[in-house]
Amino acid sequence: MLNADDHRVLEMAENLNTKAVYFGSTEACDYRAEAIESIWPERLHFKLYTNEPGEQGIPVHSQLIGKHWLYSVLATLVTADFCGVSVQQAVQSLNRVDPFMGGMQAIKLPNGAIAIRDEENVSPDTINVMLEVLSHARADRRGLIFSDQSDSKQPPRKRLSKIGRLSAKLCDFVVFVGPHPHHAVGGQPLRVWKISIARDLKTSRMLRIGSKLFF
């Protein structure tokens, strides 16, 4: 079962001694996703096609936030089908699966604002995905709480100043925490608050109903 949208994965089929099954978003795929959308507050949804004659497509409405989950969802549905679970049944079950803790997990705060927890993995790739979701989100106000990232060879000044520049364009407010926040804030047109504990954040005037907060 191979992701046909990734040329590196496609190359794996060259040395296989068995039939490969392909999933992705192109016509050549055995399992194909179309009309893929996930713009907050909407979750990832699309139509799934399995090349059956006369097929109209199966609507998939997951609880996951972000298009980056597409290939994980497709791989899950393909695997279920090959294990004897019908695609329709697998879709119904998948639609009820909540995001795991700290992985693009939406939480409603006491004041009505929505926080998206995404601290489970803070590598550069996942941060780029988070910023992509944030950039397209529909919300009255957008905010970011950020500490630092892992798996980076860049010094704190360089990596955090980049986040500062990007967040200044995307957010109405940003909270930087950790030992190097000055690298992110320096020279950026950001409104910055000093918040000592999480309780202060929940009651802060920064947040109100319609706000969307990433951390």
pLDDT tens digits, 83-99:
999 999 999 999 999 99
Instruction: Say if 99 falls within a structural domain.
Output: no
CATH number at 164 reads 3.90.190.20
In this structure, the number of other CB atoms found within 10 A of the CB of residue 4 comes to 22
Instruction: Say if 180 falls within a structural domain.
Output: yes
End-of-domain residue from the set 34, 60, 94 = 94
For residue 48, with 0-12 CB atoms within 10 Å meaning exposed, 13-18 middle and 19 or more buried, which class applies? buried
The full DSSP string for 150-208 is SS--S-HHHHHHHHHHHHHHH-SEEEE-SS-HHHHHTT----B----SHHHHHH-TT--
Range of the domain at 87: 2-94
End-of-domain residue from the set 75, 94, 113 = 94
Instruction: Say if 100 falls within a structural domain.
Output: no
By the 8 A CB rule, do 204 and 193 touch?
yes
Output the pTM of the full model. 0.81
Instruction: Say if 207 falls within a structural domain.
Output: yes
Q: Say yes or no: 90 and 186 in one domain.
A: no
Structural Rg of the chain based on CA atoms: 20
CA angle 200, 136, 109 (to 5 degrees): 25
pLDDT (tens digit, 9 = 90+) per residue, 157-207? 888 888 888 888 888 888 887 777 777 776 555 454 443 334 444 444 444
Residue 215 pLDDT > 70, yes or no?
Answer: no
Q: Say yes or no: 90 and 127 in one domain.
A: no
Residue 25 corresponds to which tokens in the numbers above? 């978003």
Count of domains for the chain = 2
